[in-house]
Amino acid sequence: MFRSLLFSAVLCTLPFAAAADQLTGQEAFEVLTAATRTYSGGSVSTFRPDGTFVFTHADGRREEGTYRITQRGLVQVNDATHGSNYTFVVSERGGQYFFTYRSGPGRGNTYSFE
């Protein structure tokens, strides 16, 4: 019962994330660097204007490295801690921001953030 209720709740939020408007590179930069961000999955990130970042996940795993953002808003991350690379985009709908992995282990996953 709980599992089906949880699944229904997730399905209800997917259309909102899918319908969100992807930010440009400048907009994504401004949003990400404006403050420390907390994600719906429990992670916390700090993206600094100098192109470095720290991402601490809910399970305590920590990523540190560099990032760059394309004009179209694709954020390219180089996690020096684990030697991995991945990409994501930032979207917005109705004042709510979303983070969607485009590549890497989380590919296709979307999280809201504040």
How do residues 43-93 score in pLDDT, each as one tens digit?
999 999 999 999 999 999 999 999 999 999 999 999 999 999 999 999 999
Tell me how far the alpha carbon of residue 6 is from its chain's centroid. 22
Residue 38, CB half-sphere, CA atoms under 13 Å: how many?
Answer: 2
pLDDT score for 19 = 60
- Among 107, 91, 106, CA closest to 16: 91
Is the pLDDT assigned to residue 114 strictly greater than 70?
A: yes
Q: How many domains does the chain have?
A: 1
Range of the domain at 54: 2-113
pTM (2 d.p.) = 0.80
Residue 30, CB half-sphere, CA atoms under 13 Å: how many?
Answer: 8
